[in-house]
């Protein structure tokens, strides 16, 4: 049975699958609220969102967690400003964290009605913030807000006034938000609508379908976009699918082309470095009979790939400032997550596991 046929059958048999509505949200573990002051190693600190709790955790990449700060319910993505403030997409609002003082400054409520979002909750399908990004000049934070059962909303936060100043309808379940290099456009990846919504600073939003396998199966399909990256060289969007296809989208024209990938695994988080190297997290097989396990793909601008096997599911990735190390969060939006980070030495491929909060999902290098 080929992949398309297998996935079609899987979607028919079980509508509650990896990227379809799942069982009741899980309750968080007891939440750590320490304010530790241990000095970081020479590698600096990492900041992760604890999707299974209400905190963000500061992690020394040599030894593990050193402090946690309250950050709203089930924090998902985060964006780090040049001023040391982190903007965190939680269920009920955007939290502002002073990473230097390690304290929460404010929680900015969404403009979208709480009636539409539902009560703050945990789990993959909870209402509220998902992807988040900052404008290049730091004036605005853009957060994709999931509205259960319907299309999502992009909420624009004025970072100086600390309030929502604009809302824009976007696709369903906005996993990721990215911003163009000049800040003139925002790109919202709609997981359940197979699309990217291009939101210009001025003018009307426009939808680009991104579905290299087609849209058959609808909400029951596994073959949807998850995360994107803006390529530094030309501003095109890079969206990986299944370790088989990299969709390269020109957001100006809406046209796309597909390049081959080699990991052959279900893929989620991405990151891109200034030289154009793409990092893609593989979460594991859809069809265990033919697909490969979790991995981290490192793809150079000329299309060469090195695939680093990982132990267990992961979700997102960040790269050290010297480009030598990748940090891959084990939180994962599906079952099978674990409470740590895999540290990957990119020169040797060696990996080690590091404890890091509860269900760490989003990640940034401080």
Angle at CA of residue 239, ends 310 and 217, nearest 5°: 90
First to last CA, the chain: 46
What predicted TM-score, i.e. pTM, was given to this entire model? Answer: 0.91
| 358 within 8 A of 50, measured Cβ to Cβ | yes
Q: What is the pLDDT of residues 53-77, one digit of tens each?
A: 999 999 999 999 999 999 999 999 9
Would you call 205 helix, strand, or coil by DSSP? coil
pLDDT confidence of 3, banded at 50, 70, 90?
A: low
Q: Is the pLDDT of residue 35 over 70?
A: no
DSSP 300-338: -TTS-EEEEE-SS----EEE-TTSSEEEEE---SSTT--
How confident is the model at residue 202, as a pLDDT? 86
Distance CA 366, CA 362 (A): 13
Count Cβ atoms below 10 Å from residue 38 Cβ, excluding itself.
Answer: 13
Question: pLDDT tens for residues 9-27?
Answer: 444 333 334 454 333 334 3
* pLDDT per position as a tens digit, 184-193: 999 999 999 9
Q: Does domain 45-365 have CATH number 2.130.10.10?
A: yes
């Amino acid at each position: 049975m080929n992949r398309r046929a297998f996935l079609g059958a899987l979607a028919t048999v079980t509508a509650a699958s990896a990227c379809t509505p799942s069982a009741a949200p899980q309750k968080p573990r007891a939440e750590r609220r320490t304010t530790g002051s241990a000095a970081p190693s020479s590698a600096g600190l990492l900041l992760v969102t604890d999707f299974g709790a209400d905190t963000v955790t500061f992690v020394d990449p040599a030894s593990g967690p050193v402090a946690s700060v309250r950050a709203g319910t089930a924090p998902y993505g985060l964006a780090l400003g040049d001023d040391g403030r982190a903007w965190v997409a939680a269920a009920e609002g955007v939290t502002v964290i002073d990473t230097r003082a390690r304290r929460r400054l404010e929680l900015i409520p969404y403009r979208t009605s709480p009636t539409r979002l539902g009560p703050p909750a945990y789990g993959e399908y909870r209402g509220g913030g998902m992807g988040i990004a900052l404008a290049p000049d730091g004036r605005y934070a853009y957060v994709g807000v999931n509205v259960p059962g319907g299309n999502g909303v992009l909420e624009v936060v004025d970072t100086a006034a600390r309030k929502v100043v604009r809302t824009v309808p976007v696709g369903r379940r906005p996993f990721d938000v990215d911003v163009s290099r000049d800040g003139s456009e925002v790109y919202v990846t709609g997981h359940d609508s197979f699309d990217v919504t291009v939101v210009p600073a001025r003018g009307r939003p426009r939808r680009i379908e991104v579905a290299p396998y087609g849209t058959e199966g609808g909400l029951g399909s596994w073959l949807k976009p998850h995360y994107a990256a803006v390529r530094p060289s030309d501003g095109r969007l890079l969206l990986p699918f299944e370790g088989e296809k990299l969709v390269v989208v020109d957001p100006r024209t809406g046209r796309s082309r597909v390049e081959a990938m080699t990991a052959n695994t279900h893929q989620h988080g991405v990151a891109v470095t200034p030289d154009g190297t793409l990092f893609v997290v593989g979460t594991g097989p859809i069809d265990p009979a033919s697909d490969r396990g979790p991995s981290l793909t490192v793809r150079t601008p000329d299309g060469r790939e090195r695939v680093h096997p990982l132990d267990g599911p992961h979700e997102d990735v960040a790269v050290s400032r010297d480009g030598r190390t990748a940090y891959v969060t084990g939180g994962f939006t599906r079952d099978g997550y674990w409470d740590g980070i895999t540290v990957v030495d990119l020169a040797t491929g060696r990996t080690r596991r590091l404890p890091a909060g509860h269900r760490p999902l989003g990640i940034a290098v401080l």
